Amino acid sequence: MSESARGGNPAPPRRERLRGRLLVGQSGGPTVAINSSLVGIIHEALGYAEIEGIYGMRSGILGGLREEFVDLGKENPATIEGLRYTPSAALGSSRHKLTPNDYDRILQVFRAHNVRYLCLIGGNDSMDTARRLEELGSTAGYELHVMGVPKTVDNDLVHTDHCPGYGSAARFVALMVRDTSLDTIAGALSTPVKIVEIMGRQAGWLTAAAALAKEGQEESPPDLIYVPERPFSIERFLADVRQTCQERGRCVVALSEGVHDEAGNFFAAMSSATDAFGHRQLGGASVYLSQLVNDELGLKSRFEKSDTLQRSMMVCSSPVDLNEAYMVGRMAIRHMMEGISGKMVTLVRAPGPGYYCSSGLADLQQVAAAERLLPDEYLDERGHPTAAFIAYATPLLGGLLPPYTQLAGYPVPRLPGD
C-alpha cells in the first residue's frame, strides 16, 4: 500500500530510468573470477528494457578509445554461462592510464553509441579510470552512470572486506605451498631449502595465504613467511633459514615478490621499467635468495615462482569466490538502474562465527589509487600471519584443502649380521 493510500505523505514519483547502451570493460591482471563478474553484469542487464544493448570493450579502456566493441547481447546464452567457469579476461585486458588527451575521443565514442551505463571490472587503477570517466561525463554534461566492480588477487582495495579473485588465488597458494612442501620434506636430505615466491607488490595478503597450508599445525610448512608490510633483511633471512634447518632439517619459505628493505628498495626489481601507472616490474627475489642460501649457508636450495599461475588456475578456484564475483556484477547493474553512479560495489561480511557476505557501495573517489595493507592484528612480531588472519581468510577458500595421508613407517628389523 502506498503512503497516499494510507493517508500519509505521497510517495515520491518513480525516477524515469535513463535509456541507452551498457558498456563493460575488464582491466588489470585477469583472475579466475573476473569473467564471473562479467556474466553477473550481463545476466542482470538483460532484465532491463532501458538497457538497449550490451557492449564489451576489447582490451579495457583501450577498446573504448579505439571503438573496438563486441555485442554481448548476440552471444549464445550457453557461452555466457560457461564464462562463469572460464579463467582469464574474456574481453581482453590492458593497463592503459587515461590522460586528458583521451577525453575528447572517449566522449565522442560514447556519444556515437549512446553509451549511458559503464561498468569497469578491475583493481585500484581501474577504479581510478572509472572515477575519471564519471567525472568526465559530469563535466561535459553527458549523463553517464559509472560503476566499479572489484577484482584483484592482491586483495588490496579499500572499503571492501575482500576482493573477488583473492579467494581462488589464496586457495592456489595454499595448495601450491602445501604440495611443494611435501616434495621438499621428501628430498630434504639432498635439497633442504625451498623458496616459493608469491605475488604482492605492496600488500602481503596473498603471501599470507601460504599460512593456510599449515592447517593448524604450527610445525608444518611453510616455516618462514615474509610479507611487504615488514622490512626485509638479508642477514635476518639467512639466520632464520639456518636456524630452521638446524631445528627441522628443512626450511620452506613463502616470500612476497614485494619484499623490500627499510629504505623501501625492492629486492625483486628486475629493471627500471614501469607500466602506465608507474608500477615497477618485479620478479626474481626467490632466484637471488636461493643462490645466496647456497653460497652463504652451504645449503642446497630450490626456488618456485608460479607467476601468473596464481591467478589463472580454474581447477583451484573457490566456489565462494566465483559466486561473490557473480553477485557484485549483478549488483553493479542493479544500483545503476536505481540512478546510482560513481561507486564501487563492495563485499560486506556479517559479524559472527559463521560466514555470510552481502554487498555495499563505496565512493570511487575514496577507492581509486588507494591500497589496503595487512593490518597489524593479522601479523605477529615475526611478520607471520596470526590466528585472526587465518579466521578471516579460511572461509574465502570455499572449503577445506583435499586431505592427505602419511605412511605410518613401520620399520623392518635388520637381519642378524647386518
Catalytic residue list = 154
Are 342 and 131 spatial neighbours (Cβ–Cβ below 8 Å)?
yes
Distance, CA of 414 to CA of 418 (rounded, Å): 7
Report the 10 Å Cβ neighbour count for 211. 22
Cell of 128: 581510478
DSSP alpha helices (H): ranges in 116-165? 124-140
Nearest by Cα to 87 from 405, 398, 312, 378: 312
Determine the distance from the C-alpha atom of residue 42 to the mean position of all C-alpha atoms in its chain, rounded to a whole number: 21
Report the 10 Å Cβ neighbour count for 135. 16
Report the 10 Å Cβ neighbour count for 137. 22
Report the 10 Å Cβ neighbour count for 100. 8
Q: Measuring CA to CA, how many Å separate 403 from each of 175, 179, 400?
A: 11, 11, 8
Cell of 192: 633442504
Nearest by Cα to 63 from 137, 121, 131: 121
Are 251 and 244 spatial neighbours (Cβ–Cβ below 8 Å)?
yes
Strand order in the sheet with 20-26: 69-71, 51-57, 20-26, 115-122, 145-150, 343-349, 357-363
Determine the distance from the C-alpha atom of residue 132 to the mean position of all C-alpha atoms in its chain, rounded to a whole number: 22
The phi and psi torsions of 257 (rounded to 5 degrees) equal: -65, -20
Cell of 397: 577458500
Instruction: Say which DSSP state 5 is in.
Output: T
Find all residues with CB under 8 Å of 227, minimum gap 6, and list them. Answer: 200, 204, 207, 208, 256, 259, 374, 379, 383
SS3 of residue 297 by DSSP: helix
324 membership: H or E segment, kind and range:
helix 319-336
Q: Could you tell me where the beta strands, DSSP code E, fall in 27-73?
A: 51-57, 69-71
